[in-house]
Amino acid sequence: MTSRDASPRPQLPTDPAGGPPTRGRRSGRGAGRCLVVPLLLLVLSALAATAAADASDTESGLQKDDSPECMRCHWMETMAYRDRATRKIVDLSIDRDAYRHSVHDELACRDCHDRRYKHYPHRVSSAEEGLSCVGCHEKHQEDSDHSPPNLAGLDQEYQHSVHALEADEPFSCFSCHDPHSFRPLPNDTPVPQVVAANNGLCLDCHTELLTPVPEGHDWLPRPQAHWSSVRCLDCHTPLEGRDLYAPSHQILSAAESNQNCVECHSRDGELLAQLYVHRAEQEREQKGFFSHAVYNDAYIIGMSRSPIIDRIGLAIVVLMILGIGAHGYGRYLAHKRKQRETS
Amino acid sequence: MTTLYLYPVWLRAWHWLNALLFLTSLVTGISMHFSLGGLIPFDVAVPVHNTSGILLTVSWALFLVGNAFGGNGKHYLINLRTLPMDLYRQARYYVYGIFVNAPHPFHVSVGNKLNALQALSYIGVMYGLMPLLIVSGWAFLFSAELPETIFGFGTIWVVAMAHLLLAWMMLLFLVVHVYIITTGETPTTNLKAMITGWHREHDDGPAAARGARGRYG
């Protein structure tokens, strides 16, 4: 199963290596909303609004410990500032609804953010916290009540990805995944929705590809049709060692990516079985036995293609038709002869 | 004029329904296989192909039921003792006798309406190719339940190739079948029989010589 952020809301990505705060992958989206908010007005309005919203936060990590203190300010959509270095807007707001639906809902703010947040506004150094998804998940592997998935394998893959090796800007888990809204899609999610969600992650940053003939993809016939049916990952991750339910995080560079049509559209292409089973399984879970059978759209053009069988089959059928034509002509001549004889 | 009632209503209805479903599966399958979106749009061809395939399964089951309880099954019982000679006579007629206006070696009767070649080919198609085609089609639909590999190959590929091969063989059968039915007394004698149920032959035709059960008009 694939995963994606459940919410399109912005976030505060932080370099896991402990570097300075970096801009979010969507941080530019909030530009112009709010540049400078008077602190006093902000706090007062936060106090009033949070009191009303608290009732809906029962059992959420946002209710635990001193999280309500944090949310007094961070619930506001306008909670943002312009980074002096990059001149871009850094969004600091937390969508409570998205958080409650995320896999991290049980976590209080301080379970992750535990460095010097006592001062208002927080010091820049406070954000220099070494947030590490991999480390945190590993640390809690032995938890009896709720053991998070081990991300070590994904991290190894990521370390070899083009994002880790060649990214122009600091890149981390948070560049793609928002921990405040992250939730894997359920298994019964329709295939087109899974594809759209996955590809949305890539296209949120790679906006240069949102053109009729995307750069670097001009070799690909009908790119829009492909993108609505196939995940970017299906071509941009290595063929070897694929796991249907844990897409590789080793994103390949354009040069290394799969551009071989027959990997999908051919007899025993590496991608074919994976794509087909993936789609067929999801459709069945989604729709039930007969509906799955009727509306099964897992067929991939070319998967049944066999030039040898097709050529032999076509040759035999054509020869048969020619033979039938000759046979029919012979019968016609015999019929004419019989008519002449009887007359 | 000799008239035999060979095909009861249920049999004719099944035959033409089966033909319709088979042709639908064939055309949509060709469209999908060769990516002929101009023939039938891909997103239409796939659900139609799946549906006609499922209905073809039902149709095949009805064929079994009809043979078991409708009395049609006896036509597929082969006399192995006389089979070689019957086949030889029938084949010889198609490759030679038919061109010299020789009498048809097989005489249709209510109790025996299929010649040896017909019976053998129909048995092969309906009890051999068709169930395999159906099984491979369902295997496509539920491939997620199958093992990843079979005989050392990817299961989906094996299923796809089997389905393709069987489809070609069925197409070949269809071509031959459509032609062979024109080899009756007149080119349309057999076609009309499968439409009306009545097999008609002139008294100087092969049916007159057999002395079998029948109605004479």
What confidence category does residue A35 fall into, taking pLDDT thresholds of 50, 70 and 90? Answer: very low
| Closest C-alpha to B98, from B207, B2, B190, B180 | B180
Long-range contacts of B6-10 (CB under 8 A, 24+ apart): B6/B108, B6/B110, B6/B113, B6/B193, B6/B197, B6/B198, B6/B199, B7/B193, B7/B194, B7/B197, B7/B199, B8/B70, B8/B197, B9/B197, B10/B66, B10/B70
pLDDT confidence of residue A313: 94
Over range B169-191, report the average pLDDT.
92
Check CB contact under 8 Å for B172 and A276. no
Number of A:B CB contacts under 8 A?
A: 109
Over range B26-33, report the average pLDDT.
93
pLDDT confidence of residue B50: 92
Long-range contacts of A126-133 (CB under 8 A, 24+ apart): A127/A12, A127/A14, A127/A20, A127/A21, A128/A18, A128/A19, A128/A20, A128/A21, A129/A14, A129/A18, A130/A16, A130/A17, A130/A18, A131/A14, A131/A16, A131/A174, A132/A16, A133/A16, A133/A173, A133/A177, A133/A179
- Does pLDDT of B176 surpass 60? yes
CA dist A120 and A126 (Å) reads 11
Which residues pair with residue A81 across a beta bridge? Answer: A90
**CB-based contact A172:A15 (threshold 8 Å):** yes
Kind of pairing between the strands at A89-91 and A80-82: antiparallel
Max Cα-Cα span within chain A: 118
- Does pLDDT of A271 surpass 70? no
* Torsion angles phi and psi, residue A261, rounded to 5: -55, -40
pLDDT confidence of residue A19: 30
Over range A54-60, report the average pLDDT.
55
**CB-based contact A184:A247 (threshold 8 Å):** no
pLDDT confidence of residue A85: 78
pLDDT confidence of residue A299: 73
A116 touches chain B (CB under 8 A): no
Over range A321-343, report the average pLDDT.
92
pLDDT confidence of residue B124: 94
- Does pLDDT of A217 surpass 60? yes
- The number of distinct structural domains making up chain B is 1
SS3 label, residue A146? coil
Instruction: Please give the DSSP secondary-structure letter assigned to residue A7.
Output: -
Q: Among A321-330, B139-148, B198-207, which is the least confidently predicted range? A: B198-207
Q: Which residue has the higher pLDDT, A10 or A127?
A: A127
Domain residue extents for chain A = 1-184, 186-305, 306-343
Burial of B157: CB neighbours in 10 Å, binned 0-12, 13-18, 19+: buried
**CB-based contact B190:B88 (threshold 8 Å):** no
pLDDT tens figures, B48-94: 999 999 999 999 999 999 888 877 788 888 888 888 998 999 999 99
pLDDT tens figures, B89-123: 999 999 999 999 888 888 888 878 888 898 899 99
pLDDT confidence of residue A258: 81
What confidence category does residue A256 fall into, taking pLDDT thresholds of 50, 70 and 90? Answer: confident
What confidence category does residue B215 fall into, taking pLDDT thresholds of 50, 70 and 90? Answer: very low
- Does pLDDT of A208 surpass 50? yes
What confidence category does residue A315 fall into, taking pLDDT thresholds of 50, 70 and 90? Answer: very high
* Torsion angles phi and psi, residue A52, rounded to 5: -75, -35
Q: Which residue has the higher pLDDT, A249 or B43?
A: A249
pLDDT confidence of residue A317: 96
Highest mean pLDDT among A64-73, A152-161, A181-190, A314-323: A314-323
Check CB contact under 8 Å for A299 and B148. no
pLDDT confidence of residue A2: 35
Residue of B nearest to A328 (CA): B179
Residue to substitute from B143, B148, B202, interface A, most A β-carbons within 10 A: B143
Q: Put residue B211 in one of left, alpha, beta given phi > 0 → left and psi -120 to 50 → alpha.
A: left
**CB-based contact A295:B47 (threshold 8 Å):** yes
pLDDT confidence of residue B209: 41
What confidence category does residue A283 fall into, taking pLDDT thresholds of 50, 70 and 90? Answer: low
- Does pLDDT of A176 surpass 60? yes
CA dist A293 and B139 (Å) reads 10
Over range A318-331, report the average pLDDT.
96
pLDDT confidence of residue A248: 84
Residue to substitute from A275, A297, A299, A335, interface B, most B β-carbons within 10 A: A299
Burial A295-312 (b: 16+ CB within 10 A, else e): ebbbbbebbbbbeebeee
For residue B203, how far is the Cα from the chain centroid? 29
**CB-based contact A182:A103 (threshold 8 Å):** yes
- Give the minimum alpha-carbon distance from A259 to chain B in angstroms, rounded to a whole number: 20
What confidence category does residue A279 fall into, taking pLDDT thresholds of 50, 70 and 90? Answer: low
H or E stretch at B5? strand B2-5
- Does pLDDT of B208 surpass 50? no
* Torsion angles phi and psi, residue B151, rounded to 5: 55, 30
Check CB contact under 8 Å for B141 and A306. no
Max Cα-Cα span within chain B: 63
- Does pLDDT of A15 surpass 50? no
pLDDT confidence of residue B13: 94
Burial of A281: CB neighbours in 10 Å, binned 0-12, 13-18, 19+: buried
- Does pLDDT of A137 surpass 80? yes
H or E stretch at A134? helix A133-139
pLDDT confidence of residue A324: 95
Over range A108-126, report the average pLDDT.
77
Q: How many CA atoms lie within 13 A of A257 on its CB side?
A: 19
Q: Which residue has the higher pLDDT, A43 or A258?
A: A258
Check CB contact under 8 Å for B33 and A334. no
What does pLDDT average to over chain A?
Answer: 74
- Give the minimum alpha-carbon distance from A188 to chain B in angstroms, rounded to a whole number: 14
Using a pLDDT cut of 90, give the percent of chain B over it: 47
| Closest C-alpha to A54, from A44, A73, A70, A68 | A68
Beta strand segments in chain A, E? 3-5, 80-82, 89-91, 182-184
Q: How many CB atoms lie within 10 A of CB B200?
A: 18
pLDDT confidence of residue A62: 85
| Closest C-alpha to A89, from A23, A9, A175, A162 | A23
Domain that holds residue B103: 2-216
Q: Which residue has the higher pLDDT, A198 or A34?
A: A198
The answer for residues whose C-beta is within 8 angstroms of residue A242's C-beta and 6 or more apart is: A248, A270, A274
CATH number where B124 lies? 1.20.950.20
For residue B58, how far is the Cα from the chain centroid? 16
Residue of A nearest to B141 (CA): A293
Q: Which residue has the higher pLDDT, A32 or A171?
A: A171
CA dist B114 and B117 (Å) reads 8
CA dist A243 and B98 (Å) reads 63
pLDDT confidence of residue A4: 37
pLDDT confidence of residue B171: 96
- Does pLDDT of A152 surpass 70? yes
| End-to-end CA separation in angstroms for chain B | 6
**CB-based contact A273:B148 (threshold 8 Å):** yes
Q: Which residue has the higher pLDDT, A289 or A50?
A: A289
pLDDT confidence of residue A134: 87
What does pLDDT average to over chain B?
Answer: 86
Write the residue in A293, A316, A324 that is nearest to B50 by C-beta: A293
CA dist A290 and A286 (Å) reads 11
Check CB contact under 8 Å for B164 and A310. yes
Tokens of B160: 């796809």
- Does pLDDT of B217 surpass 60? no
